[in-house]
Structure 1
Amino acid sequence: MIHSLTDKVTFNNGTEIPGLGLGVFQIPDEDTAEVVSMGISNGYRLIDTAQIYGNETGTGIGIKKGLATTGLSREDLFVTSKVWNDHLTYAETISAFEETLDRLALDYLDLYLIHWPGKDAFKEAWQALEDLYAAGKIKAIGVSNFEIHHLEELLAFAKVVPVVNQVELHPKLSQQALRDFCETHDIKVQAWSPLMQGKLLADPTIKTIAEKHQKTPAQIILRWDIQQDILLVVKSVHEERMQSNAAVFDFALDETDMIRLNQLNESLRSGPDPEVFDF
């Protein structure tokens, strides 16, 4: 379990990733540089973007600005992006990666993910990621939104086991079976949309637990993840909220709290269902 914003978790290949990071989903490219720079200045060391977000250029500018402001080096940051795997061939995946690297103005990525499994869509893309990893252009490779059967299919041919599966995960969608499978195969689980795009903040159970600990509902949810060793990517464009999201290391949820939060699961999604989402 991580104990600070800069604490890291070790992947199955030895690479270390900060347990709590800043995501930039749905932030316009022209606004992203300021958000990323602000995040770095406020202690965030993991920056998570994607090809489909359309803001890799702004992310790269923000990284450069944040490093200049803080005096950190590139190696102090962990940068993730994702390939929008619309049935890409091997060559198309290599090209997409190079374009991502150019937009970010970086020499390498710390983590590169296949964004969605699609229907029989990821074999060539994964083989491309494996070769980019072998060439040293990526420190670690993984997947996003993969269900158990997708992972089983991947593991049947993969030479490199993914280090992480980034999925929608929150108290209304606890993903326990998927988490158990990933743990068995030494694949970390990282939550996107851990606050269910804000829809959980008014939940009565979460609000009651928040009042008990004198914390915000968002802090309760993020702490629930942290105590289960779930990696986190949290989006915010406001400095106060960035700071609040990081202020989750000075309290602990007790067993009763955890039981009550676990009982909220309804297998309810706010994003697409990987079983039917294709492109």
Structure 2
Amino acid sequence: MKTVKIAGKTVPAIGIGTWHMGDQADQRENEIAAIQAGLAAGARVVDTAEMYGSGRSETLVGEALAGSKRDDLFLISKVLPENASKQRMEASLDASLRRLRTDYLDLYLYHWRGNVPLAETVVELQRLQTSGKIHAWGISNFDVADLDELWALPQGDQAAANEDLYHLGSRGLDFAVLPWQREHQLPLIAYSPIAQGDAWGHQLTTNAVVKEIAAAHGVGIYQVLLAWVIRNPQVLAIPQTSSVQHMEQNVAAASLTLTVAELAALDEQFPRPTHKESLDIL
């Protein structure tokens, strides 16, 4: 099983995403069951945010994790840009912790850039880490210029991870962001790693080569897409599903290794970028 080391902890390279979870009351039982099935299958990372459903996702996650041993989990949440200030961040974090039914986060991410000076945000994240309410902090939706700016700040290089959109149909990170992160030993957390089931027209699940590779390994298409995302070291994928079966298959993808020939065939279908592209954000 592929693993990733984040903030000093080694975790399986497939985690559990929760965007959109908690939004539909009639899906609540299915969503809780899916999260619990993912943990039973070996996942350790659960990723959420105060933005997701205006806190409903965090509340759902808190309920789903209520019977789990806290030390076995790696829990991530995110602060909104408007709350990433000295005046508001701790109250925002405290609200997340209450919803999640925990007294600390393993990783707290600055969700995306806003109007609060980055230096102020970093100072407050460092203070909250010192307080013990978060064990590490990081950023999300940061491009190379943002990362350069962060690293130039005092203690900016203490960031433990960057979470960006990344999947086979959206490879902009391959040109600049991923090389930068490898050079600076900053892990990537890939959100929407299966392109939200082709919701944005990437046609990954209908591609003949993807289907052939899945058939050759006797696995589902989404497992191939996830195995591609985590093909490089220090990349964690956080797919979201409300299906117990799909969740178990997602977690199993951490044990799937694509061959050099298969990766080359996927490169032909979905070419690596040859120039800097704008950061994809959902």
Q: TM (normalized to structure 2)?
A: 0.84
Shift of 1:250: 5.2
In structure 2, C-alpha distance between the alignment counterparts of 1:246 and 1:88, rounded to whole Å: 32
The whole-number CA distance in structure 1 between the counterparts of 2:271 and 2:169 is 4
Match among 102, 116, 120 for residue 98 of structure 2? 102
SS of 1:248 mapped into structure 2: helix
For residue 205 of structure 2, what is the aligned residue in structure 1? Answer: 201
Measure, in 1, the Cα distance between the counterparts of 2:154 and 2:83: 17
CA contact (8 A) 1:22 1:233 kept: yes
Moved over 6 A (4+): none
- Compared CA separation, residues 262 and 57, structure 1 to 2 (3 A): same
Alignment length (residue pairs)? 260
Matched with 1:225 is 229
Which region of structure 1 is more displaced relative to structure 2, 249-258 or 226-235? 249-258
**How far apart are 1:233 and its partner, in Å?**
0.5
Greater shift in the superposed pair: 88-97 or 73-82: 88-97
Asked if structure 2 preserves the Cα contact closer than 8 Å seen for 1:163 and 1:186, the reply is no
Q: CA deviation at 1:210?
A: 1.8
Q: How far apart, in 1, do the equivalents of 2:161 and 2:48 lie? A: 15
8 Å contact from structure 1 (residues 15, 140) kept in 2: no
1:184 aligns with 2:183: yes
State how far apart, in whole Å, the 2-side matches of 1:233 and 1:276 are. Answer: 15
Q: Deviations over 1:40-85 (max 9, x none)?
A: 23332211110001311111111103x2xxxxx2101110000111
Q: Does 1:137 align with 2:133?
A: yes
Judge conservation of contact 2:75–2:106 (CA < 8 Å) in 1. yes
1:46 partner letter = V
- Alignment partner of 1:86: what SS? helix
Alignment check: 8 A CA contact 1:192 1:232 kept: yes
**TM-score of the superposed pair, with normalisation by structure 1:** 0.84
Distance 1:172 1:118, change over 3 A: farther
- Counterpart AA for 2:247: M
When residues 134 and 265 of structure 1 are mapped into structure 2, their CA distance, relative to the original with a 3 A threshold, is: farther
Give the letter for the 1:147 counterpart. Answer: D
**Are 2:5 and 1:10 aligned?**
yes
Q: What's the Cα RMSD here?
A: 2.3
**Distance in 1 between the 2:63 and 2:83 partners?**
30
Alignment of 1:68-217 (within 5 A): 73-86=69-82, 88-118=84-114, 122-161=118-157, 162-174=159-171, 175-176=173-174, 177-199=176-198, 200-217=204-221
Residue 50 (structure 2) pairs with residue 46 (structure 1) = no
* Aligned-partner residue type, residue 39 of structure 2: I
Name the CA distance, whole Å, in 2 between partners of 1:156 and 1:221: 35
Q: What is the distance in 2 between the residues matched to 1:101 and 1:37?
A: 19
Deviations 1:78-128 (A, max 9, x none): 100001113742121121111111111101100110111246653322221
Q: Contact (CA 8 Å) 2:14, 2:253: kept in 1 or not?
A: no
**Percent identity over paired residues:** 29
Unaligned runs of 5+ in 2: 199-203
Shift of 1:18: 3.3
Query: Residues 275 and 34 from structure 1, CA distance in 2 versus in 1: closer, same or farther, beyond 3 angstroms?
Result: closer
Instruction: Provide the rounded CA distance (Å) in 2 between the counterparts of 1:89 and 1:79.
Output: 22
